[in-house]
Amino acid sequence: MAKRKRGRGLMTLVKLLLLGAILFALAFFGLFGYQLWMEHNVSASASALAGSDALIVLGAQVQPDGIPSVQLEWRLEKALAEYQRIPRIIVVCGAKGPDEPATEASVMRQWLIARGVDPGHILMDEDSFNTKENIAHAVALLPHGQTEVTIVTSDYHLPRAMAVAKDLGLEPSGIGSPIKPEYWLKNHTREALAWGKYFLGKILPIDGD
């Protein structure tokens, strides 16, 4: 009798684990599809940009020698082109990671100044470690009443960054930069999980990206 009970208990556990795995897979692929759909919609509308109050450039990896990674440089190139079209405030965001020689914001500032951006137009957030902090800190740096912003980040990241900006009371437009093809799956997988955390954060007190 005891063996039968243990057997039934084990089968119940296996079924619950299997059900959990199925539900997780359904949720993940649903989020993955949602992310791709949002990315397409944002990319399709990004060409119709009007002048905003400020550009907010979100940080990415800085190399050990202190220069921007390829992904970060592509973001900066997009920001520079938009600044040259209509000069305005640029907020560069990003703290110093454990494997970085300087804050992402300071490296971005130097890169932009070297290419002709007026130093007086650049504001730095050197304390943020995730998307929500990036945008919240950028808002705190902007002159009071400025809510129309253009967020510059990688294509895959742009929809969620704009969603966070709207949550914070901004009126965002966006410019997306490309990523290396070999990182497409990794970045999109991570971003799908981040979308899950974003939606959970609507009902639960969750911090972070």
Residue 9 lies in a domain: no
- The structure tokens listed for 18 are 């299997």
**pLDDT at residue 165, rounded to an integer:** 94
- The answer to whether residue 22 sits within a structural domain is no
The number of folded domains in the chain is 1
Q: Report yes or no on 112 lying in a domain.
A: yes
- Residue 25 within a domain: no
- For residue 54, what are the domain limits? 42-200
* Contact between 174 and 163 (Cβ < 8 Å): no
More confident residue, 5 or 165: 165
Which own/partner pairs from 61-64 qualify as long-range (CB within 8 Å, at least 24 positions apart)?
A: 61/97, 61/100, 61/104, 62/97, 62/100, 62/101, 62/102, 62/104, 62/107, 64/99, 64/100, 64/101
Question: Per-residue confidence at 24, pLDDT binned at 50, 70, 90?
Answer: confident
**CATH label of the domain that carries residue 102:** 3.40.50.620
Arithmetic mean of pLDDT, 88-112: 96
Q: Does residue 8 sit within a domain?
A: no
Task: Decide if pLDDT at 2 tops 90.
Answer: no
Mean residue pLDDT of the chain comes to 85
What are phi and psi for residue 115, nearest 5 degrees? -110, 20
**pLDDT over threshold 50, residue 88:** yes
Per-residue pLDDT averaged across 86-92, rounded?
Answer: 95
**Could you tell me if residue 72 is inside a domain?**
yes
17 is a domain residue: no
Q: What per-residue confidence (pLDDT) applies to 161?
A: 95
Tell me what pLDDT residue 166 has: 93
Mean pLDDT of 76-98: 95
**Is pLDDT above 80 for 48?**
no
pLDDT computed for residue 47 by the predictor? 46
- Is 21 inside any structural domain? no
* 145 or 99: which leads in pLDDT: 99
**Of 97, 108, 102, 38, the residue nearest 71 (C-alpha):** 108
